[in-house]
Amino acid sequence: MITRPPRASAISPVGAWLGVFFVLLLVQWPLIFNPGYFSHDELEWWARADVASWSRLPWVSWTDIAAFQYRPLTFNLWLLIAWFAASKPYLMHLLVVAAGSLNAVLLGRCVQAAGASRRSGYVAALVFVLTPYAAYTHGWTATLADLSTVAAALLSLRLLQASHGANARLDALRAVSIIVLTGVALLSKESAVVLPLFLLLGVYRHPRPGHAIRVIALSAALVAIYLVLRLHVILGTPHGGAAYAWSTANIPRRLLDYLLFPFLPPLLEVGPTLHKGLVRLIAAAACLVALQAALAGAGSRWPLVWIAQFAALLAPVLILGSSYGQYAYLASVPAVGIVAVAWRRLRSPSRIAISIVAAVAIAHAGAITWRMREVGIAQTNFYADLLAHLAATQGLIAVASADAADRWMVERFLSGVTVYRGVALDERVRRAEDASEASLIMQGDGHLLTTIKRAARRTLP
C-alpha cells in the first residue's frame, strides 16, 4: 500500500512574523552598517557612559520631576546601552534598528487585529520602516525616547484589542498593563501625554467598546496626574532652550511641515520644508491630497480619522518653534496603519494612487537612509583626523567647514562634546565661524585639512 508523505505544515504565525522581523532588518542594512554617529547627542552620552564599570554610570534621578526633560527611563537606559555599545557603532545601530523593527512588527499585528489581512499586516510593517520619519528615527541612535514611547503605545493598543471579555481576570491584567505602559511612556518622553488619544484606535471593531473606553479613561487619568505635576515645567522654556520656545501661532506651520515633508525627497530635516520651491511644495501637497482622496474610497470618515490622529499625536510639538523628524515617529504609526486597515475596502484606482504616493515617500526614506550613513562616515573621518591633530600639535584648534552647506555637521559633531574616546576636547577644540578663522577645514567627507594644505591644493594645476 502506497501512502502519501505528510503535507508540510504551514509556517506558524510566530514564525512568519519572525521572518518579517529579519526582512525588516535586511532592508535597513545601510542604517545598521553605519560606522559613525549623526550628532553630538549620542557623543555626549557616550562620553558620560565612558566609565570602567556600569555601576559607575552617572545615573539620572527618578524623582527630579522639576527637570525640564524628565525622562529617567530613557536617560538611564541610554547610559547603559552607551556603556555597552557606543564604542561599537555597528552594534549601537543594530540595537536601534532592531527596536524599530520590533515596533513595526507590533504595528503589523495591530493592523491584523483591526480586521486587515495578514498580508496587509506584513506590508504595513515593511512600509512603516521605509517611511521618512522611521528612517530618520532608526538612523539616529539618539532617538531612544521615541522608540520606547512608540513601543509602549503599540503594546498598549495590542493589549486593548485583545480584551475580548472571554476571561475577566486576564482582561483586568491587560488593563493594569496598559496603565503601567502609560507610565513607561511618560517616563520616556513628555509627548507621551497623547497616548490615550492613540489608544482610541483600539475602539474600532472592538467587541466591547465600553470596556475599551474605560481602560483608555484610566490611562488618561494617569496622564492628567502627570500634567498636574509637570505642566508648569514643560511649558517653561529652559535657559538657552530656543528649540523648545513655544507659541500657539506655530501650529499651522508645524502641521504643514510634518504633512508635506514625506513627499519632498531628498530633504533630510523637516525644518526647511516650507522654504523649498513652490513647485516642489505643490507637488508634495498633491501627494497628500491624492492620499486623502484615495483613502476616502473606503468611506468619508477614513481621511478625517487619518488627519485627526496625525495632528493629535503631534499636538505637543506643533507649538514649538522648530520641526524635527523623530517627533513624527509616533504619528507615522496610524498614518501607515489606517491605510493598511482600509486597504481591503478600496478599489483599484485608490490602491494605485496610494501605491504611487507610498513610492514617493519610500524614495524619500531611501535618500534619508543614505544621507544618515554618509554623515556617520563623515563623523568617523572627522574624529580620526581630529585626534591625530590633537596628538601632533599643542594649543587651540579651530575647525570650520569648507562648504557653508556643511557647517551644520561641524556644529553637530562638536557641540557640547567634551570628551571623545577618552581624549579631552573642551579646552582644545572650538568651532570657527568661517575658514579665515580656522586652523582645520572639514571637507564634505569629514576629513580635516590644515589651512596650509588646503591652500596648497588650490594652487595645484
Residues 388, 390: Cα–Cα separation, whole Å: 5
3-state SS string for the chain? CCCCCCCCCCCCHHHHHHHHHHHHHHHCHHHHCCCCCCCHHHHHHHHHCCCCCHHHCCCCCCCCCCCCCCCHHHHHHHHHHHHHHCCCHHHHHHHHHHHHHHHHHHHHHHHHHCCCCHHHHHHHHHHHHCCHHHHHHHHCCCCHHHHHHHHHHHHHHHHHHCCCCCCHHHHHHHHHHHHHHHHHHHCCCHHHHHHHHHHHHHHCCCCCHHHHHHHHHHHHHHHHHHHHHHHHHHCCCCCCCHHHCECHHHHHHHHHHHHHHHHCCCCCCCCCHHHCCHHHHHHHHHHHHHHHHHHHHHCCHHHHHHHHHHHHHHHHHHCECCCCHHHHCCCHHHHHHHHHHHHHHCCHHHHHHHHHHHHHHHHHHHHHHHHHHHHHHHHHHHHHHHHHHHHHCCCCEEEEECCHHHHHHHHHHHCCCCEECCEECCCCEEECCCHHHCCEEECCCCCEEEHHHHHHHHHCC
User: Which residues of the chain have a pLDDT value below 70?
Assistant: 1-10, 239-242, 452-461
Whole-number pLDDT of residue 333:
98
Whole-number pLDDT of residue 459:
47
Whole-number pLDDT of residue 225:
97
Whole-number pLDDT of residue 135:
98
Cβ partners under 8 Å of residue 95, min gap 6: 81, 85
Whole-number pLDDT of residue 353:
97
Whole-number pLDDT of residue 2:
52
8 A C-beta contact, residue 141 and residue 88: no
Q: Using one digit for the tens of pLDDT, what is the confidence trace for 231-285?
A: 989 888 775 566 777 889 999 999 999 999 999 999 999 999 999 999 999 999 9
Cβ partners under 8 Å of residue 289, min gap 6: none
Global pTM?
0.93
Whole-number pLDDT of residue 1:
46
8 A C-beta contact, residue 426 and residue 415: no
Whole-number pLDDT of residue 460:
46
Whole-number pLDDT of residue 240:
54
